[in-house]
Every structure is written in structure tokens, then in C-alpha cells.
Amino acid sequence: MANLKHLEIVLAGNSAIEQWRDDNVYEHFDLSNADLRGRCFAGLSLSGSNLEHADLSDADLTGCDLTNARLRGAKLQHAQLSEAQLQNADLTEADLTEANLEHARIDEADLSWAILRCATFRDANLHQASLINSNAEGALFSHADLSGADLINACLKDADLSDATLRDADLVNTVLSGANLSRACLIDTRLIDADLCGANLSGATLSDAEMCNLESVDLSEADLVDAHLIDSNLKNSDLHNADLTGADLRGADLRGADLRHAVLKDTNLTGVRLNNARVHSADWFEEQVDALQSPRDLVHLQALWMVNAAPSDNSHTEFVLIHRKDETSAVPAETD
């Protein structure tokens, strides 16, 4: 339970807090389980305080110093935490539903199993934070720094991650369906088994990223240079104007994908499936094929796709893309 004397000191403001700390150098405030709903703690220095299971819903913690604070299981629904300092704070299982953490410092904090539904993290620093198994459905992370963050098994369904930095982040098995990742930085990001169905990655940078399920994802104009897309599901994805230079697409499913004006230089397309994929034209695709790999490479590539040869009568021509030691060509497939 909360120490009532500590609560009295905290409510008295920073002067009283600093005096108490001068007299109790090795102690921290114990406000655990306290009912602090709607209280104003704006600008207070509460670093290292024990606020476990405290009710801080609707509280004003704007600019509050909560570095190394213990907030496990705390109720922070609708709390104002903009510009708060939460570095290394323990927010495990805390409820931050619709809380405002805009411009907050949350780097290296633990938010595993936290409820972050519809919370605002715009321009927040979450560098190397842990959000394992957190529920951030509908949360706003635009322009946030999530570099090196651990989001394994997290739910980010319909979240806004536009212009966010997710470099070196771990999003294995993360739910990102319907999420907005436009212009996000996903360099070296791990997205294996992540659910990106219906996500928007237009203009995103995914260089050296590892991913698997990208069905129906908007990747238009995305930077996918050197991306690891082996066996990825890219069915019906929008890849027009995407840069896939050096990307590894071995075994990828690109059926129905939009590849118009995509850059495929040095792209490995061994075993890809391209039935009904949209390309700018057969001639354009052959130009891309010419730049795929060196003729010296012993690569055997066969892919099937449909090219609209005569839009006026809706007829189609089926092609087989063949890559051998000495040649790469697109030829009409034999019909039974």
C-alpha cells in the first residue's frame, strides 16, 4: 500500500520532494496501489518511485520525471504523459488506453503485456523498448523512434506508424494488419511471420528487412533494396514503382501482384509465382530480366505470369521466364 507520508510530500510539489530526497538519499517514494485518479503531477520528479498498481487514470503527468519508476499494472487510461521521462521504467501490464505520450522519452522501458490501445506516441522515443505481447491496436506511433524495439507477438492492428523509425526492431509474429507504415524506416527489421495483411507500406524503406506474409500490402514506391523476402506471401500486393534491387524473392508468391515500373535489378526471382501479376509491358519486363543476375550465375529460374497482350479483346498471353547460364529470356509457354 502507498505510504501516506510519501503521498503528502509528493502532492506538496518539487521543493518538498527535493528536500525529502536530500534527507533520504537511498529511499524512493512508495505510492503503490494509491488512488491518484485525475491528480496533477505535471513536472514533478518521481524517478525511481514505486507506483505499481496505482490508479493514475486521467492524471496529468506532463513532463514528469518517471525514470526507472515502477509502474507495473498501473492504471493510466487517458493519462497525460506528453514529454514525460520514462526511460527504463517498468510498465509491464500497465493500462495506457488512450493515454497521451507524445514526445515522451520511453527508451529501454518495459511495456510488455501493456494495454496501449489508441494511445498516442507521436514523436516519442521508444528506442530499445520492450513491447512484447503488448496490445497497441489503433495506437498512434507516427514519427516515433522504435529502433531496436522488441515487438514480438505485439498487436499493432490498425496502428499508425507512418514515418516511424523501426530500424533493427523485432516484429516477429507481430500483428500489423491494416497498419499505416507509409514512409517508415524498416531497415534490418525482422518481420518473420508478421501479419501485414492490408497494411500500407508505401514509400517505406525495408532494406535488409526479413519478412514473410505481405498479402495485399501496399508497397508502392517502397525501398526494398536487399530485402529478404524468401518464400514471402506477396499475393495481390501493390509493388508498383518499388525498388527491389538485390532483393531475395526466392519462392515468393507474387500472384496478382502489381509490379508495374518496379526495379528488379539483381533481384533473385528463383521459383517465384507470378500468375496474373501486372507488369508495365512484356518488353519492360524483359528489360528488367536482363539486369537480374550475371550470365555467369548458374541459376535456373522459371516463373509463370499473365501479361495482358491485347487489352481491347481481353486476351492474354502466357509466358515462362527462363534464366540459364548464358541467357535470360521470356518466351511463350507451351499449351496443352
pLDDT tens sequence for the chain (336 residues): 889 999 999 999 999 999 999 999 999 999 999 999 999 999 999 999 999 999 999 999 999 999 999 999 999 999 999 999 999 999 999 999 999 999 999 999 999 999 999 999 999 999 999 999 999 999 999 999 999 999 999 999 999 999 999 999 999 999 999 999 999 999 999 998 888 888 898 888 888 888 777 888 888 888 888 888 888 889 999 998 899 888 888 888 998 899 888 888 888 888 888 888 887 655 555 555 555 444 433 233 333 333 333 333 443 433 434 343 344 344 444 444
- The answer to whether 298 and 266 have CB atoms below 8 angstroms apart is no
Single-letter code of the amino acid located at 29: F
Strand partners, 172: none
Radius of gyration of the chain (CA): 26
Grid coordinates standing for 52?
A: 505499481
Burial of 69 (0-12, 13-18, 19+ CB in 10 A): buried
Query: What residues are paired with 185 via a beta bridge?
Result: 165, 205
| Cα–Cα distance, 105 to 90 (Å, whole number) | 13
| Letter string b/e over residues 93-128, b meaning 16 or more CB atoms within 10 A of that residue's CB | bbbbbbbbbbbbbbbbbbbbbbbbbbbbbbbbbbbb
Q: Strand, helix or coil at 128?
A: coil
C-alpha to C-alpha distance for 174 and 75, rounded to whole angstroms: 24
Q: pTM of the predicted model, to two decimals?
A: 0.80
